[in-house]
Amino acid sequence: MQVQDSKPTIGITLGNYNGIGPTVIIKALANDSILKYFTPVIYGAPHAISYYRDALNTTFHYFQAASIQATRPHKVNIIQCSPEEPSIVPGKITEVAAKHALQALQKATEDLKSKQLDAIVTAPIHQQSMKVQRFKFTSHTKFFQKNWGAKDCLKLMVAEELRIGIVTSHVPLQKVAQRVTKGRLESTIHLLHTSLQNDFGISKPQIAVLGLNPHAGEEGLVGKEEQNIISPVINAWKEKGKLIFGPYAADSFFGKMLYRKFDGVLAMYHDQGLIPFKTLAFERGVNFTAGLPIIHTSPDHGAAFELAAKNQADECSMRAALFLALEVIKQRVLGS
């Protein structure tokens, strides 16, 4: 895609249609002015979109395309991904909804691989029901990593100028310490540093690295990972002339708003990064997959079945995910 010649095409998977995925997609795309910036292509059941459009009592026009080649650039497009009629039960976890979610993801991935899409934005799925469909991944992030054969990638949480990467994402807490190795830490710093340069256009990124233990180990009094692993890796990056700092005690780092001084933050484990992130930016946060040749974003929330069809779901995170995908598309093209 050449930014100066045409609009990007962004694929949007419907996710679990018994949750809030269809609602936030409809609300995020409801303003026709969004079509000036990119062409949206929804993958999933058109009937589900119509169902929630009626439930929301709103006007939402779309074009049902038989394939990506048949989509129209000035329309919201929907590609039906299953021959079966969806059985929509808002708020319920069903096997058929998980099947439709997987089929939509697979079809969108096919078009992404054939370069028919410039980016993909995924609405929330339900992990446990997806396992019944033999979906063996703990997240969309791992799904795309496997499909593109990447050795590693990084879950990067983004909201305005706040960017938090996670060294050990979906890992039980009791296994975190053994996963924080020099190799893993070096890899995630590299992924974060490279993404800040290539995807966000920051030529000399400043990155803060958090400690693993309370008070960043207190010089070995409450843990030695900072002394033995984290600090040596940080120092090695500094010797290369990179602006990597830490390790910082996580509580005071966020309590003193130090994150505002950095382009990116690297947390050691899921809750260390996600609790402050969602506290600061829950309704506008985006999950971006750094380190892959493709562009993938998703809203920073789950399927929220309890809100399905109630017109209470906030679409800001979905809208932010769409526009972050657009920004990264432009940055990669202009920076290439």
The pLDDT score that the predictor gives to residue 336 is 53
Instruction: Indicate if the pLDDT at residue 130 is higher than 90.
Output: no
pLDDT digits (tens, 9 = 90+) for 192-207: 999 999 999 999 999 9
- The mean per-residue pLDDT over the stretch 276-297 comes to 94
161 and 208, same domain (yes or no): yes
Question: What is the pLDDT at residue 3?
Answer: 45
pLDDT of residue 173: 93
Domain residue limits at 178:
152-290
- For residues 32-41, average pLDDT: 96
Q: Tell me: do 137 and 262 sit in the same domain.
A: no
pLDDT score at 290 = 96
- For residues 116 and 162, membership in a common domain is answered with no
The gap from C-alpha 117 to its chain's centroid, in whole angstroms, comes to: 17
Same domain, 179 and 135: no
Q: What are the structure tokens assigned to 198, written together?
A: 């290539």
pLDDT digits (tens, 9 = 90+) for 40-76: 999 999 999 999 999 999 999 999 999 999 999 999 9
pLDDT at 115 over 50: yes
Same domain, residue pair 265 and 332? no
**Residues 179, 120 share a domain:** no
DSSP single-letter state for residue 18: T
90: Cβ contacts below 8 Å, ≥ 6 apart: 18, 55, 305, 308, 309
Same domain, 132 and 180: no
**Closest by Cα among 333, 336, 222, 315 to 27:** 315
Say whether both 274 and 305 belong to one domain: no
- Same domain? For 14 and 144 the reply is yes
Sign of the alpha-carbon torsion through 209, 210, 213, 219: positive
- b vs e for 232-264, b when ≥16 Cβ sit within 10 Å of the residue's Cβ? ebbeebeeeebebbbbbbbeebbeeeebeebbb
Residue 319: is its pLDDT beyond 50?
A: yes
Q: State the CATH number of the domain containing residue 237.
A: 3.40.718.10
pLDDT number for residue 86: 87
pLDDT of 259 > 50? The answer is yes
Distance CA 259, CA 268 (A): 15
Burial of 302 (0-12, 13-18, 19+ CB in 10 A): middle
Query: pTM for this one?
Result: 0.93
> Does pLDDT of 4 surpass 50?
no
Determine the average pLDDT of the residues in 256-268: 97
Total domains in the chain come to 2
Q: Is 103 exposed, middle or buried (0-12, 13-18, 19+ CB in 10 A)?
A: buried
- Residues 215-246 pLDDT 10s: 998 888 989 999 999 999 999 999 999 999 99
At 4, phi and psi to the nearest 5?
Answer: -75, -20
215 and 118 assigned to the same domain:
no
pLDDT at position 263 over 60: yes
Segment 257-276 shows an average pLDDT of: 96
| 168 and 286 assigned to the same domain | yes
Q: Is the pLDDT at 1 greater than 70, yes or no?
A: no
Q: Summarize pLDDT for 153-193 with one digit per residue, the tens.
A: 999 999 988 999 999 988 899 999 999 999 999 999 999 99
Residues 195 and 231 reside in one and the same domain: yes
Please name which of 155, 72, 68, 77 lies closest in space to residue 109, comparing C-alpha atoms: 68
Q: What is the mean pLDDT of the chain?
A: 93
The C-alpha atoms of residue 251 and residue 264 are separated, in whole angstroms, by 17
